[in-house]
Each structure stands twice: as structure tokens, then as C-alpha cells.
Amino acid sequence: MQNISASTRNRDLVMLGIFTAVVLTAPLWGGLIGAGYPDLLQKFAIFGLFAVGYNILFGLTGYLSFGHAAFLGIGSYTTVWSFKLLSMNALPAVMFSVIMAGLFSLVIGFLSLRRTGIYFSILTLAFAQMSYNLAYSVLTPITNGETGLRVLNDDPRVIDNALGIQIEGSPLGTLFGMELTGWNGFYFCAVMLILGFWLSIKIFRSPFGLKLVAIKSNQTRMSYTGFNTQPYLLSAFVISGMYAGLAGSLMAIVDPLAGAERMQWTASGEVVLMTILGGLGTLIGPILGAATIKYFENIFSAINEQVLQNAFSFLPDWLNSFFVFITNPFVGEGWHLTLGALFMLVVIFLPGGLMQGVSHLSRMIKGKGSADADKGDA
Amino acid sequence: MSNILDISNVNKTFGGLHALSDINLKVEEGTIHAIIGPNGAGKSTLLNCCIGRLIPDTGTVTFNGHNMVGMNPYDINHAGMVRVFQTPEIFADLTLHQNVMIPALSKRDGTFKFNPFADIRAEKDIQEQARQVLEDIGLGPLADHHAGNISRGDKRRLELAMGLIQHPKLLLLDEPTAGMARHDTNKTIELLQKIKERGMTKIIIEHDMHVVFSLADRISVLAQGRIIATGSPEEIKVDPRVKEAYLGEETEE
């Protein structure tokens, strides 16, 4: 017994170690798959974090929220305001964003969790669209409406001014003077992702996490077993909202700008896709899903008709134009068609997401290996 | 001995159907009280009124000196009245071991505890308790199986284990042996007798007369929403009203 639990705990440490190594060396191996530049890797980390948090709600409790982009947007706006009013330092910005997203998710979660199932989903969607419309038009003095909120040179920045920090050129998020763009920006996001992943492992392995899974399995039974499920669900909702706020904050840190479109329901839908695509309720799945979607988005949306014509140029003219005609709707602006097809394939053939594929593969490899490996695993 | 449960004047109607009429029932502490009656007599409705799944139209359910009517199911659970369900209400996605750990955690943590930094694998007490209860009930070898994959009889026993691990003051058993093979039924009777010695009060709803007469100290007979007789097994066996309403039909088979 003791040995088993000790060894699974070690396995978590090994997983966290490998994860940390993979994330921090991403600039090295990213080049091999054509992802070796900071903008894309930042996106991997930021959306990975968003999905890891979302998975704590959706993956553990089974409550499908369609409104988490609202917290993403709130995180971004808070960060830009922290940049404008206080300091270009990223740490207070991150802190305020997480707190603010936490407060909003407390209110929205409290109200939405009065209902379950589809009604819960619709309520979160309604709240998120309200937030979007507020940000887009009603609250223009705070959000700067459709232009988006940006940091200006003549913003007050009370703390920076008190410390005598002057800004030349366009203001950028910093960490005690180090500008958080490019690779620095990526490493800042990467550290946050690793911390977020660590916290997610902790939650998964805690009695709290086990109770969340039990709620997903049979909520009625939980209440006859002596649990008030409401505060459990609300905690999970707020935690995932805070992750979203952190992700939104990071977006605004690496690119000091916040716009209302970040809160639109399509953005909420995207994180649902990421989580399911990667593997709902698994630890690494959501990050894998986020990276996969952002990776393919990057590849397919960059392709245009010209690129296709070149790609098929070895074919005779009429075949060339035929293939270009067929494939053109799937690339560029239309890359969501590709995403849809990919998503359908995964859901149909790997209902457990990409992680199911990974475990199939590892079992196949182990099966070919010695039988001792299986014994060791059991 | 004092009465641990005192149900008085409970009525419950569904539309025009009078499911429970003027139910008065006292359960003495430390006894096994069986409730028998034909299908549709209102036995499960009565249990649901006790644990807060249904709210009776009138009357009180006094448990351990407190009226439970209108209380939340989870508060009733912590007051010490725990129900074992007839159709297994288990956590199908969890292992048997985890299924039993959940009620043990409830007993320890109360209705809500936020402890995301604790490690479930370091909770030796809870882990050990859960293993022990599964061992006692004969599900030890299945501890690490998923509860959704075990047989129906095993699910019933898992249900029982989930109730027992909370050491309730009063355990409500809704047909604990229904759907079990004779061998398993006997094992369950044996187990329930063993727990009886520990002084846990139980209400047991049962169709199987073999189970009722080998376990119960007192029996109440429910028919068409009314309690028509309450007494010792010997009294009930010879009661003419009971024979007419229930046992008569049974013996003809």
C-alpha cells in the first residue's frame, strides 16, 4: 500500500519534471515542427493554461461552461488597466487580473450554478455574451469599445513614475525592467503554465478533486452522502475562472492590448474544443489540445490560393486547378473547416481525445516489449 | 430504550394518489425494524420522506430529538440517518475503493471542505477504513475495479458498504438483498446480524420473508399507504389483517 502510493506520487513528480523540461526547451525542439518562434509558443502556453483551468471545471465536474472567454477578457482588461494606472511590471498585473477574474466568476458561477445541465451552459453563455456586449459598447469608458484598450505613453503609471521609470517608445510589459516580449515573454508564460499545471496535478490528487469527480459521476448521490455540492461546484468554477483570468492577463502582457472580441462566445467554444480534443479530465490532454489547435491554426491559416497552386504545380493544369478548388476552402480564413473535420475524426475514433491515442500507442509499444514491463506497471 | 426515530402523522399525496396516510411509526434505538408490504404500499416513499428526498405534506419526522422535515439531505446524513438505495446509486466512474472513500470523507470533512493541497494518497486512515469495509463485505478483491463494471449483486453490496462506513446512528436499507442470489443473501443477512451487535439501529424494507424473519426485532406492515400492524415477528406472523393484506398472497405461491 505505502509503496504504491509513494510510487504514484513519484510518478507525478516525474511527469511534472518531464513537462517542465519539455516546456522550457520548446524554443529548441519547436523549430523541428516549424513552431520555433516566440509568438506561437506563447500562444501554446497561454491557451494551454486556459484549457488546464477549464478542465478543472468541465473535466472534473462535467459542468460545461460556454462563458469562460468572459474571464479571459476580464483578465486582459485588468492587466492593461494595471499597466496604465500602476506599473508596466507584470506581477501586479497578473495578481489583479486573477483576483478580478475570480470575483467575476464568483458572481457568474453563483448565479449559473443554480441550474444544471444544458440550462447551466446556456446561462454561462448568456452571461458571457452580456459581458462581451458591455465591453464592446456600454462600458466604452473602461474598455475603449471596439478600438480596444491600449497602453499609452502618457498614462499615469503611479508606481513607475514614483520609482522614476521612464518609458521610451511604445510601452511593453516588463518584469522588473526586463521587457516581456519575444523569448522573454514566452518564458514568463511558460513558468506560469508550469505553475498552473502543478496546481492542476495537486487538485486532481486531492480529496477535493475526488469529490468533484464523484459529483460528475452522481451528483444526487453526493448530497445523500452528506455533501453540499454547491460550494464544491462554485470552487471549481472560480478556480477555472481564475486560470482564464491568468491566461487573459498573459495575452495582454506579451501584447499590451485588450479587445472585446476576446470575450466572444467563439472563444469560449474554442476552449471546449481544446479540452475535448486533447482529452477531457486528463492532466496533459487540455494542453495537448490547445497546442494542437493553435499549431494547425498557424499552419492552415497561413496557406492561401497561391501557396496551394505552388504545392500542386507538379500536376497538369486542369488537375492543379481542381485540387486548388477543392482544398482552398479548408485553408486561410476557412481553416475552421479543417478544425471541424479534425475534431470530428478525433471524437469519433478517439472519444477519450488525443490522450486516448497516446495511451493506445504506449500500450502497443509496451505490448511488444517484455511482459515484465506490464508487471511493473500493475 | 428510547425511540431514535419517531414518525408522526405523516401524509403524502401525489396528485390524487394518497401515497402515505397518517403514518405513525416509532423505532427503538438499537433494534432492527422491518417494514413490509406489497408493491406500491408506500415503503420507498416513507424512506424518501425520512432522508429529505421528499417533503411530507403534514407531520413530523423526529430523528434523535430533531425534526428532519425540510432539512437538506446532506444535513440529514450528518445528523446520522443514512439510506442505502434500492437501485444502486453508486459512482460508476470511480473504483470501488474510491466509492467507499467518498462517504468516509463526508464523515470526516463535513458538508464542505476545500483542501486542494491535501493528497488523497496520503490519507492513510480513510484509505485503510475503505479497504476494511470492502474486506468485511466481501468486495476486497474488487477494490480497484471500476464500480460501473461489477455485477448488480456486487453493486448492492457496495451500496451497503457505502452506508456502513459512515457508522450512522440509523441505517435505512431499501431491499438490501433484492436481486441477490441465495448465497449472497445469506451472506448479507450474516453481515447485517454482525452489525446489529454493534448497536446500529436499522430500518429495513424487504420483500424476502426469510430475510425479514431472520433479522427483524419488530415489523410494521404497510398497505395502501397505511400502517396496518406493528409488532414482533411472532405477532405479525399470526395477525389476521396482515395475512389478508400481504402474507396470505405470499404463501399461496
For testing the chain B interface, which of A219, A227, A230 should be mutated: the one with the most B CBs within 10 Å? A227
pLDDT at B246: 63
Separation between Cα atoms, residue B119 and residue A203, nearest integer Å? 9
Mean pLDDT of A2-29: 85
Instruction: Look up residue A213 and give its amino acid.
Output: V
Residue B93: alpha-carbon gap to chain centroid: 23
Could you tell me the pLDDT band of residue B247, with boundaries at 50, 70 and 90?
low
Contact B90 A209 (CB under 8 A): no
Contact B74 A218 (CB under 8 A): no
| B232 touches A: beta carbon within 8 Å | no
Mean pLDDT of chain B: 88
B200 lies in the same domain as B155? no
Beta bridge partners of B205: B35, B174
Q: Which helix (H) or strand (E) holds A174?
A: strand A174-175
A315-324, B75-84, B186-195, B218-227: which range is least confident on average?
A: B186-195
pLDDT at A5: 61
A69-83, A174-188, B235-249: which range is least confident on average?
A: B235-249
Rg (CA), chain A: 22
Q: Are strands B32-36 and B201-205 parallel, antiparallel or unpaired?
A: parallel
CATH entry, A2-265, from 2.60.40, 1.10.3470, 1.20.1440, 3.30.70? 1.10.3470
CA distance B100 to chain A (A): 10
What the block records as the C-alpha cell of B221 is 406492515
B55 lies in the same domain as B100? no
A117-131, A198-212, A221-235, B203-217: which range is least confident on average?
A: B203-217
Report the range out of A3-12, A88-97, A156-165 with the highest average pLDDT.
A88-97
B74 lies in the same domain as B113? no
A215-219, B73-77, B154-158: which range is least confident on average?
A: B154-158
Report yes or no: B81 and B169 within 8 Å, Cβ to Cβ.
yes
**Could you tell me the end-to-end alpha-carbon distance of chain B, in angstroms, rounded to an integer?**
39
pLDDT at B66: 92
CA distance B20 to chain A (A): 22
Separation between Cα atoms, residue A52 and residue A200, nearest integer Å? 7
**B120 vs A contacts (CB less than 8 Å):** 205-207, 209-210
pLDDT at A376: 35
The total of structural domains in chain B comes to: 2
Could you tell me the pLDDT band of residue A371, with boundaries at 50, 70 and 90?
very low
Separation between Cα atoms, residue B152 and residue B169, nearest integer Å? 27
pLDDT at A368: 64
In sequence order, what are the residues at sequence separation of 6 or more whose Cβ sits closer than 8 angstroms to the Cβ of residue A75?
A: A97, A98, A100, A101, A244, A245, A246, A247, A248, A249, A251, A252
Contact B113 A207 (CB under 8 A): yes
Which residue matches cell numbers 469608458? A141
Could you tell me the pLDDT band of residue B249, with boundaries at 50, 70 and 90?
low
Beta bridge partners of B222: B227
**Sign of CA pseudo-dihedral B167, B169, B174, B177:** positive
| B135 touches A: beta carbon within 8 Å | no
Question: Which pTM value belongs to this model?
Answer: 0.92
pLDDT at B170: 93
User: DSSP letter string over chain B?
Assistant: --EEEEEEEEEEEETTEEEEEEEEEEEETT-EEEEE--TTSSHHHHHHHHHTSS--SEEEEEETTEE-TT--HHHHHHHTEEEE-SS----TTSBHHHHHHHHHHHHHH-S----TTS-GGG-HHHHHHHHHHHHHHT-GGGTTSBGGGS-HHHHHHHHHHHHHTT--SEEEEESTTTT--HHHHHHHHHHHHHHHHTT-EEEEE-S-HHHHHHH-SEEEEEETTEEEEEE-HHHHHH-HHHIIIIIHHHHH-
How many residues appear in chain A? 378
pLDDT at A377: 35
pLDDT at A260: 92
CATH of the domain at B185: 3.40.50.300
CA-to-CA dists, residue B118 to A26, A148, A201, A316, B122, angstroms: 31, 42, 11, 66, 8
Q: Quick check: A373 pLDDT over 50?
A: no
B219 lies in the same domain as B114? no
Q: Which of B167, B201, B220 delimits the end of a domain? A: B167
What the block records as the C-alpha cell of A88 is 508596466
Q: Quick check: B107 pLDDT over 50?
A: yes
Chain A residue with CA closest to B89: the answer is: A221
B111 lies in the same domain as B69? no
Contact B92 A214 (CB under 8 A): no
What the block records as the C-alpha cell of B169 is 446512528
pLDDT at A295: 94
Q: In this complex, which of B85, B102, B111 lies closest to A214 when CB atoms are compared?
A: B102
B175 lies in the same domain as B163? no
B163 lies in the same domain as B174? no
| B115 touches A: beta carbon within 8 Å | yes
For A230-286, the pLDDT digits (tens) are: 999 999 999 999 999 999 999 999 999 899 999 999 999 999 999 999 999 999 999
Report yes or no: A210 and B102 within 8 Å, Cβ to Cβ.
yes
pLDDT at B209: 81
Mean pLDDT of chain A: 91
Instruction: Write the Ramachandran bin of B179: left for phi over 0, alpha for psi from -120 to 50, otherwise beta.
Output: left
CA-to-CA dists, residue B164 to A27, B161, B202, angstroms: 55, 5, 11
Separation between Cα atoms, residue B88 and residue B225, nearest integer Å? 25
A8-22, A216-230, A312-326: which range is least confident on average?
A: A312-326
Could you tell me the pLDDT band of residue A310, with boundaries at 50, 70 and 90?
confident
Q: In this complex, which of A203, A209, A228 lies closest to B112 when CB atoms are compared?
A: A228
Contact B121 A5 (CB under 8 A): yes
Separation between Cα atoms, residue B104 and residue B133, nearest integer Å? 10
Mean pLDDT of B226-243: 87
Q: With pLDDT > 70 as the criterion, what percentage of chain B qualifies?
A: 96
The single-letter DSSP state of residue A89 is: B
Nearest by Cα to A71 from A84, A56, A87: A56
Mean pLDDT of B91-96: 95
CA distance A229 to chain B (A): 8
pLDDT at A253: 95
**B92 vs A contacts (CB less than 8 Å):** 217-218
Q: Which of B136, B167, B198 delimits the end of a domain? A: B167
For B22-32, the pLDDT digits (tens) are: 999 999 998 99
Nearest by Cα to A204 from A129, A293, A282, A119: A282
Instruction: Look up residue A19 and give its amino acid.
Output: F
CA distance B163 to chain A (A): 8
Residue A326: alpha-carbon gap to chain centroid: 32
Report yes or no: B206 and B177 within 8 Å, Cβ to Cβ.
yes
Give the A-side interface with B, CB within 8 Å: 1, 5, 8-9, 199, 202-203, 205-211, 213-214, 216-218, 220-228, 231-232, 235, 239
Report yes or no: B220 and B229 within 8 Å, Cβ to Cβ.
yes
Q: In chain A, where are the structural domains located?
A: 2-265
CA distance A223 to chain B (A): 5
Separation between Cα atoms, residue A72 and residue B72, nearest integer Å? 36
In the three-class reduction of DSSP (H, G, I as helix; E, B as strand; rest coil), residue A258 is classed as strand
Higher pLDDT, B183 or B66: B66
**A232 vs B contacts (CB less than 8 Å):** 112
B69 lies in the same domain as B99? no
B146 lies in the same domain as B134? yes
List the domain range (segments joined by +) for residue B24.
Answer: 1-80+169-253
Contact B92 A217 (CB under 8 A): yes
CA distance A361 to chain B (A): 23
B105 lies in the same domain as B142? yes
Mean pLDDT of B200-213: 86
